[in-house]
Chain A
């Protein structure tokens, strides 16, 4: 009998869990740092079901808050993504939905109240349809505003996470302003500080996503110069940039589920169809 005790390839690897599905990432593998993704020739990455260990990390609040749970689970279930922190944020929902399909199947229950009637109902969303929509969306990296041509990129999961945490912290400060132990002057001061921080954060997030600006054949890629330019730009230009970036982000948002009312519900005042937002939280992500 041959004994395997040496480091290297694990002889038991053929008994490891098998991929449940293969998906096209919305980014098609673009925007990753070199070495952060091992893209197969087919362009489709394998997705494995979560193990019990993965499920436990996804139920750890601190790991969820700082993004580590998501990173660990993506590493475990989509091993082609070597460095999930540098994954473009547009791939995030698709990766998590694919993991959800691989683990619990393609149907996901959504609970909602029928408008005007108020009765609770459970619908089943087909996650394959949602995944298909995300994979079809296209991120437009270039747009023009006047004479300027802007090249943008989606934020990485690390940048997205850091920005979400900072926003969350500042929102907590707003919540503290209801505290009666603080004087009105202090409240105003804290509000102004927090508001200023949030504005700076919005600007920083925006400029991080700008790769270059092209004007009169000159290409500006220096982040400091781009930052300065954005801070000193006209409002209309700033709004153009913001709306283009938001439009790109919206393409990769999960569309709401369209529910059909029953004839008796319509008779009771419900609309024929209504939209239910699909949110992936702890109660829906796990079967």
Chain B
């Protein structure tokens, strides 16, 4: 089955639950199979499947509880970036376990865009198709997601240090 491992990984990150991830993947394949005649050759199959999975997740019990704060993103792409700070450097060297925890604690709209960009290696255009948003929104959300992740890693590191000192 094409993309099975990737879709399961993505589903697990979205739902944060093994059983729900399995249900989500299963439903995605059933819907994908049913909707395949309408799939247009030449368009991106991976983005199409990711979009089905994400739409199914958004209409699931867990997904319906999620709200994306769109208001912060209506001002288009955010171009100003912070240069390499101690946190940026720290995150680049931090271990994958710490970063995994930080990723897990991010709001789902940040988590999903980081996964689509860094893990699935989708282009801005493919992410825009998957999330049904303009490319400008992809750029600004991705930028915010990275900042949020750096912040979360920093928090995790501080907590780790505090626990070590107190312990």
Are A and B a genuine interacting pair, yes or no? Answer: no
Residues of A within 8 A of B (CB): none
